[in-house]
Amino acid sequence: MRKILHLILLSFFWIITSNVHAQSQTENDQTFKGPIQKGKYTLGGNFFIGEGITSVQAGVGYFFSDKIGLGIDGTYVNELFLVQLLPRYYFHVLDNTYIFLELGVTAGDIFGVSGGAGVTYFINERIGLQGRLNNFSGGGVGMVVLFGGKNR
């Protein structure tokens, strides 16, 4: 748990320093049209096998804008089943790379506030590779697929 908190704090520091570069990049290129757009749906999943934690997670989501999304994830971790409702805020840091922060609620075999951070790299307009950390599921590596929405 302590390692996860350190990684989350490190992620926040990296996000703050990287966001300055992302803002200047998008201000210089107003025509950027990334894969994360209002009205798109997501389907994704990830897994993590580590010291004391085995986690499998799958979920769906919706983007309210090119920065704000909401995910509902089902997680099986160490013989516990959890459902997480996670609002997410996305920072565009490089061409097809986004960092996100999530903070929401967890219900199931454990109840509480859940939070985390992650990085998604989109290999094209629909498919992204993801790594994330979460205080309940431990996080993991996986994939996300985007559906719907209008390409700008």
pLDDT score recorded for residue 54:
86
Average pLDDT over residues 84-113: 92
Domains and CATH numbers, the chain: 2-28+36-148 (2.40.160.20)
Using DSSP's 3-state secondary structure scheme, residue 49 falls into: strand
Range in 19-33, 38-52, 66-80, 112-126 the model is least confident about: 19-33
DSSP 8-state symbol, 38: T
pTM of the model: 0.73
pLDDT score recorded for residue 21:
47
State pLDDT tens for residues 34-51: 788 899 999 999 988 877
Res. 15: pLDDT tops 90:
no
State pLDDT tens for residues 106-140: 999 989 998 999 999 999 989 999 999 888 777 78
Angle at 90 between CA 147 and CA 151, to 5 degrees: 35
Query: How many whole angstroms separate alpha carbon 11 and alpha carbon 34?
Result: 22
Comparing CA positions, the residue from 76, 93, 92 lying closest to residue 84 is 76
pLDDT score recorded for residue 127:
93
Average pLDDT over residues 1-20: 55
Using DSSP's 3-state secondary structure scheme, residue 112 falls into: strand
4: confidence class by pLDDT, cuts 50, 70, 90: low
Res. 85: pLDDT tops 70:
yes
Calculated CA dihedral for residues 119, 87, 103, 60, nearest 10 degrees: -70
Res. 55: pLDDT tops 90:
no
